[in-house]
């Protein structure tokens, strides 16, 4: 099997939680890992090098290869610095795991622009910035794997997370297009929707769920998506608590009308339009397993 041995992997936000688990498993499987973490709090404030440094030490103590990076994914300069760290240390960049994230939860009526902007900047812009910095290198070497970290909050919604949900579903939209553009260059772009007990979810998920959702359950799916063996592109995989499943768009059978309908005529067909009996997977890669 062709896995990730010898691959150079950037995992953003890997100083703790999910990112740390991903990084440890990549290193265990023989990859060389860039541990990127700004070292801030859950809401994105503050900074420090200790979190990233500790994960690097953990990997090196186990016989793996890793270097630390403390740049901010929310800026193009930061993203360029992250990829430069990979190339300076290991000579290339093969895999990007866009994992960095912050929370500024508040109901929409109370949402203020800085709360919206901060979350979108880290999640959506961060994924854009780091992927953009790595993309040309991946095209040139005719290999790349990009994993977006989406969320059930974006796929299905979650109270008080309109900023986070919008950013997370935006990452799926970016994935859909990049999967098309990258395919002929052997660049596969997929998304993981994790459910895990981390500092991001410690006061969101009930205590019983937190005990069940060890972040380590998510990482095998991420490493597989990053492997040479995995030929999927443009898919979303839900992973948490031992459950793994694909999430996909479906399109109803709908109706076909030969003439412009009146509002009342369309209303009369509404149940047929919106009903999911006979619905089929939709999208350019819907035929994939």
Active-site amino acid positions: 164
Burial 168-192 (b: 16+ CB within 10 A, else e): bbbbbebbbebbeebeeebbbbbbb
The Cα 274–Cα 271 span in angstroms is 5
Q: Find, among 261, 224, 274, the residue nearest to 244 by Cα.
A: 224
Structure tokens at 120: 């979108």
What are the backbone angles phi and psi of residue 76, rounded to the nearest 5°? Answer: -65, -35
Q: Tell me the backbone φ, ψ of residue 65, rounded to 5 degrees.
A: -115, 130
Phi, psi (5° rounding) for residue 208?
A: -60, -40
């Amino acid at each position: 099997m062709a896995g990730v041995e010898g691959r150079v992997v950037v995992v953003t936000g890997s100083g703790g939680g999910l990112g740390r688990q991903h990084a440890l498993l990549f290193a265990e499987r023989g990859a060389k890992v860039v541990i990127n973490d700004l070292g801030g709090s859950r809401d994105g404030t503050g900074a420090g090098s200790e979190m990233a440094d500790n994960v690097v030490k953990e990997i090196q103590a186990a016989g793996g290869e890793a270097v630390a990076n403390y740049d901010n994914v929310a800026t193009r300069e930061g993203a360029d610095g992250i990829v430069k760290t990979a190339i300076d240390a290991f000579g290339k960049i093969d895999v990007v795991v866009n994992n960095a994230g912050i929370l500024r939860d508040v109901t929409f009526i109370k949402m203020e622009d800085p709360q919206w902007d901060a979350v979108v900047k880290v999640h959506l812009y961060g994924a854009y910035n780091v992927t953009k910095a790595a993309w040309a290198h991946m095209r040139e070497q005719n290999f790349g794997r990009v994993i977006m970290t989406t969320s059930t909050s974006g796929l299905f919604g979650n109270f008080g997370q309109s900023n986070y949900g919008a950013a997370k579903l935006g990452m799926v939209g970016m994935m859909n297009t990049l999967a098309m553009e990258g395919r002929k260059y052997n660049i596969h772009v997929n998304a993981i929707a994790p459910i895990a007990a981390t500092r991001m979810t410690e006061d969101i998920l009930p205590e019983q769920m937190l005990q069940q959702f060890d972040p380590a359950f998510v990482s095998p799916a991420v490493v597989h998506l990053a492997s040479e063996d995995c030929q999927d592109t443009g898919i979303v995989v839900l992973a948490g608590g031992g459950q793994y499943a694909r999430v996909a768009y479906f399109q109803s059978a709908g109706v076909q009308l030969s003439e412009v309908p009146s509002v009342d005529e369309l209303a009369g067909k509404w149940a047929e339009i919106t009903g999911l009996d006979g619905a089929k997977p939709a999208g350019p890669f819907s035929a994939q397993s």
